[in-house]
Amino acid sequence: MTKWTKKDLLGLEYLSAEEIELILDTAASFKEVSTRDIKKVPALRGKTAANLFYEPSTRTRVSFEIAEKRLSCDVVNMDMKASSVLKGETLADTGRNLEALKIDIFIMRHNMAGAPNVLARFVGGSVINAGDGKHEHPTQGLLDIYTLREKFGSLKGLNVSIIGDIAHSRVARSNLWGLTKLGANVTLCAPEIILPSDFKEFAPHVKITSDIDAALKDAHAINVLRMQFERDAAGAFPSPSEYYKEYGITKERLKKCRKDIVVMHPGPINRGIEISSDVADGPNSVIIEQVTNGIAVRMAVLYLVTLRSK
Ligand code: CP
């Protein structure tokens, strides 16, 4: 039986298949807690978590806070716009000072790839990456995989297509690492200009294409990514409406897919750009289930990283 030994969760790249399975199994046992009248267990009583979100977030931030509270952990929500970071304090000094205040777990979202890795080197407590630049978003990858495992039982041999802004997506990277380690076949699909060729390390389990029909054919599940038109993707396609016409996941496109295809999206959704409302809210969509599963997955991660120090 796999035992958890790691101090931090920085990315799925750094986990074995067995460690990913351990998180998913632990999440499955925690999921029931949220169905109780009193949604609380004492697993992290006496521990303190600090939520450090340097970038906006709805789903990740709220579900981490709920997960912490369900585990009876004390919670500090840092307002990074009102912190001494604005006075020039370094990440290392912020970490050391929070540690002096007896923080046990640091949950960090940051616009710089690798920022949680840096923090993890300076603090003895556990660091959980809640999304860093274009690097990884491991708990999103885990909740996506958890949702697929609930639907299909196993990831082995499952055809999963990730469609959209692959180049700028930390969600794509975490999904790629996790899915391929658990034996899924992954297809990456995007317009050529935002479809990097540096995914060779994932071969032979990854196909790369700009042909949306090829990506949808035979897919058991698709994970639709947001086109970041307000940022880097703006130069990659003439306009949101043209992207929608060429790559948008619509009811018409879904008619050519497997009847039971599972449609995922990490959120936030841009309706009418990468996905139509009738697909996002339709019978094949598990988008809201993904959000709910985020609580159990984050409870599992918080629990396991603190287990290591017991
Ligand atoms: N999926 C995701 O990371 O959403 P938030 O940015 O709202 O946390």
What's residue 2's pLDDT?
81
What pLDDT shows up at residue 230? 66
C-alpha 57 to ligand 1 mean position (Å):
5
pLDDT of residue 234: 61
Cβ neighbours, 10 Å, residue 229: 18
pLDDT at residue number 86:
81
Residue 58 CA: nearest ligand 1 atom is 7
**For ligand 1, atom 3, which residue shows the shortest CA distance?**
60
- Between the CA of 109 and the centroid of ligand 1 the distance, in Å, is 10
Residue to mutate (ligand 1; options 60, 62, 265; most atoms within 8 A of CB): 60
| pLDDT per residue of the chain (310 residues) written in tens, 0 to 9 | 789 999 999 999 999 999 999 999 999 999 999 999 999 999 999 999 999 999 999 999 999 999 999 999 999 999 888 788 888 899 999 999 999 999 999 999 999 999 999 999 999 999 999 999 999 999 999 999 999 999 999 999 999 999 998 888 999 999 999 999 999 999 999 988 777 777 767 767 899 999 999 999 999 999 999 987 766 666 667 788 999 999 999 999 999 999 999 999 999 999 999 999 999 999 999 999 999 999 999 999 999 999 875 5
Closest ligand 1 atom, CA of 60? 8
Nearest CA to ligand 1 atom 4: 59
Residue 136 half-sphere exposure, CB side, CA atoms within 13 Å? 23
Atom number of ligand 1 nearest to Cα 61:
8
- Looking at residue 69, its amino acid is K
Q: What is the pLDDT of residue 167?
A: 85
Q: How many angstroms does the Cα of residue 72 sit away from the middle of ligand 1?
A: 23
Residue with CA nearest ligand 1 atom 6: 57
Ligand 1 pocket, CB under 6 A: 57-61, 131, 137, 140, 266-268
Phi, psi of 221 (to 5 degrees): -150, 150
Alpha-carbon distance of 52 to 126, in angstroms, equals 13
What per-residue confidence (pLDDT) applies to 58? 96
| Cβ–Cβ < 8 Å for 42, 74 | no
Site to substitute for ligand 1 among 132, 140, 292, most atoms within 8 A of C-beta: 140
**What pLDDT is stored for residue 99 in this prediction?**
96
| pTM as predicted | 0.95
126, two tokens: 């556990």
What SS3 state is found at 80? Answer: helix
Q: Closest ligand 1 atom, CA of 109?
A: 8
For residue 310, the model assigns a pLDDT of 52
Dihedral sign of CA atoms 306, 58, 22, 166 in order? negative
CA of 310 to the centre of ligand 1 (A): 31
Cβ–Cβ < 8 Å for 219, 284: no
